[in-house]
Structure 1
């Protein structure tokens, strides 16, 4: 398609040179001459952009193609330029295509004389897509500005020197400061203890960010309030660190709850210590009363019953002694407890039995009372049985205790070098109260028990930690 000059065949075509015609005809922007409100000369791109034919463009006043809301401004600019007045060299407006679509265009226009009369030479570019992007950016800016202005948390930015370069209006809700009062101020201005800022900056520099980092600020009136910040380094387009930005959330209520909870726990710990102390003392009193009655008994059977009862009570009393002395209200060092308990049991029988030595190999393991109490009672029964039955005629012997840990499981192994278990012994069929108690306690700690002879009796108990 070439430039249509049929309207002025008698006039010499100013674009008759082939080079100029090629440039104009192949230009991607619309190029046309306007005179007396009509188009006089147009290139193919004018038809393409406007969606109209040559005939439509030549026969219709060009303002008809302009959106009604923009016509007044376009007419004014055109008249000013024709009359030699100052008019914008470049401006944007909307035009109507033949199919009813509306597109945005940008026009560059210069005054010109055409066939001896004032005219304008115009260059028109379709900027609909660009305009859509610009509008989207404007809407996005409005959206984020609204979010920024209404955000509940406090958003902030500082430069490397710690000067506040941006802070959200929400600071007023928590600290009483207006945004404008703080921009340009050092961020330590709102710190309760300015020296704490150095620790925050150090943490951010080392890790690149901090999450849920506690910061104590002060409001406009000097009152402290607790915040939690998520902050990270701020970079420029070249990857250089230029500051820090992040958000602050008021956690004053959460902090009050934490402080109250800690105080409550502290009070409960005091009560628990007192309770454990009283339990220990009461168990000690019961043990002493049993010992007193034991000294009055004459027959061995009754003495054995009282002695077993006293030792069982003592095994529990020892646990509370360990808790009370260690200051740990929840967990007992099982290795120390079992060793002390074993020594105590051997001392109980030292006057009536032969010389029995104790060997221990105990891994360090901390357990709560739900596991420690049953294990203490189990050890008491097993050692007592070895002392009473493993060494005939009150002979000398050795008892070994080992405790080993394997991931989430542990093994307690008690053995002696005595005469061993009876042939075909089945603990489940035992009539003895002590071994029946052992079986019940093993079930209580969700464990299993294995008995066998190997240079004496061996009892192995596996249980979950």
Structure 2
């Protein structure tokens, strides 16, 4: 049988199946992947079908449903081996997926009838490559050897190859001379413990013991002294492998100085940026506080209660944002906010200015949120508290406000309840003309949360949100 040497040429695939729509679908998929397809009915004599299409067949795809048992599948694979043809079985029955194996001289594997195009193409390519490697092992071996030799000689890492039984050095690459200041010819035939650099590594890391136990081992930043009496740190990798039936072990030594220098530069750059971010947070907090102060001054000078309430509400909202940046600066964090502490600051800031209302912090759980979401939660809490102060206790009537933040499943519930007069019957939060609640509703939607209001011996406002 004449074989094609070019594995990139267009391939011919013999599809052995029944006349079902599944077989037709697989044939269409194979064609879509760019292969020529010849189909034959599984009821025909298999050997005659194959011989009829030789020598043009490169691969056989066969419905496993046409095979009675494992023995018959193995018989077919042996027959395919005779023709040096890879075979792919298709099946919709996962219980039969152990009836093929890949240790034959040709590739034999199994795939689902509903296999996706990319997976089908990948399976065909692997099978054809397997076949090519089997027919042309000398070309594969030569190509792999050339690639290894190129990597070995051009590597900036120093590579030592030793006989694992005698400890004798077998080969080194050119980079070894840079590390040892000794040529490869001078090192040839030396034992492992006769090479100063490797002996220093062994003294530091007990390296050989780790290699032979684990098969492969990395050690980083091992301190050594070079032949010209310079101190440096190196990274070392050792591994054990077989070559012509004999055990070898390989040392790969890399100068860690460039890596460590880069790490230090990056760490310094990160530190500088963190200081800049903290300074920006501090200045932002001070700017917001200045605006709050100016707003409060204006609130004291206006003549109407309505204008005063608007300015006080505006000041509280601005102050809540200022507190976020205060916490970020205090925690030296640029990523997330301590919500437990944040809520406490807002509660004390707003309720602390009222003499007629007391506050109970039922259970404000520990939680950290990224800046944007934390700011939204804080602003919604401000709206809840202001609504309680403004509407629950008219004419500065004495009352109590309770605040809680609790985890419920995957969600969190921020609740502000009061023992005031409650909301009117039929009140809907999404239909209210109250600008504060409308603002809270918009912010809740921005963080994929929702707001609800209930009236039962007072009012209970709840924000439900996730940390996602």
TM-score, scaled to structure 1 = 0.57
Match of 2:197 among 180, 190, 193: 190
Alpha-carbon separation, structure 2, partners of 1:306 and 1:247: 70
The answer (yes or no) to whether the contact 1:203–1:210 under 8 Å persists in 2 is: yes
- Per the alignment, residue 404 of structure 1 pairs with 407
Q: Deviations over 1:127-158 (max 9, x none)?
A: xxxxxx99x99999898667644555433357
- Closer/same/farther in 2, CA of residues 137 and 372 from structure 1, 3 Å limit: closer
* 2:173 aligned with 1:169: yes
Q: Deviations over 1:178-198 (max 9, x none)?
A: 335564465994389869932
- Closer/same/farther in 2, CA of residues 141 and 307 from structure 1, 3 Å limit: closer
| Partner secondary structure for residue 323 of structure 2 | helix
- Closer/same/farther in 2, CA of residues 366 and 170 from structure 1, 3 Å limit: farther
Match of 1:258 among 252, 256, 263: 263
Bigger shift: residues 175-184 or 422-431: 175-184
- Closer/same/farther in 2, CA of residues 347 and 143 from structure 1, 3 Å limit: closer
Match of 2:378 among 369, 376, 379: 376
- Per the alignment, residue 282 of structure 2 pairs with 277
* 2:328 aligned with 1:323: yes
The answer (yes or no) to whether the contact 1:451–1:460 under 8 Å persists in 2 is: no
Match of 2:390 among 388, 391, 408: 388
| Partner secondary structure for residue 460 of structure 1 | strand
| Partner secondary structure for residue 355 of structure 1 | strand
Query: What is the Cα deviation at residue 267 of structure 1?
Result: 1.2
| Partner secondary structure for residue 378 of structure 1 | helix
Alpha-carbon separation, structure 2, partners of 1:441 and 1:253: 49
Aligned counterparts, 1:119-134, within 5 A: none
Alpha-carbon separation, structure 2, partners of 1:188 and 1:391: 87
The answer (yes or no) to whether the contact 2:357–2:401 under 8 Å persists in 1 is: no
Alpha-carbon separation, structure 2, partners of 1:156 and 1:383: 72
The answer (yes or no) to whether the contact 1:230–1:246 under 8 Å persists in 2 is: yes
The answer (yes or no) to whether the contact 1:335–1:403 under 8 Å persists in 2 is: no
Alpha-carbon separation, structure 2, partners of 1:171 and 1:190: 14
Bigger shift: residues 177-186 or 286-295: 177-186
Alpha-carbon separation, structure 2, partners of 1:138 and 1:303: 88
* 2:303 aligned with 1:303: no
Query: What is the Cα deviation at residue 347 of structure 1?
Result: 0.5
Match of 1:355 among 345, 354, 358: 358
Match of 1:441 among 425, 440, 443: 443
| Partner secondary structure for residue 173 of structure 2 | coil
Asked which structure has the greater CA Rg, the reply is 1
| Partner secondary structure for residue 424 of structure 1 | coil
Cα RMSD for the two superposed structures: 4.4
| Partner secondary structure for residue 295 of structure 1 | helix
Match of 1:231 among 233, 238, 246: 238
Alpha-carbon separation, structure 1, partners of 2:332 and 2:219: 31
- Closer/same/farther in 2, CA of residues 436 and 193 from structure 1, 3 Å limit: farther
- Per the alignment, residue 295 of structure 2 pairs with 290
Query: What is the Cα deviation at residue 317 of structure 1?
Result: 1.2
- Per the alignment, residue 433 of structure 2 pairs with 431
Alpha-carbon separation, structure 1, partners of 2:141 and 2:437: 81
Q: Deviations over 1:225-280 (max 9, x none)?
A: 665544346799999xx996443455654544433222222111111111111111
TM-score, scaled to structure 2 = 0.57
- Closer/same/farther in 2, CA of residues 287 and 260 from structure 1, 3 Å limit: same
Alpha-carbon separation, structure 2, partners of 1:405 and 1:214: 47
Aligned length: 328
- Closer/same/farther in 2, CA of residues 355 and 372 from structure 1, 3 Å limit: closer
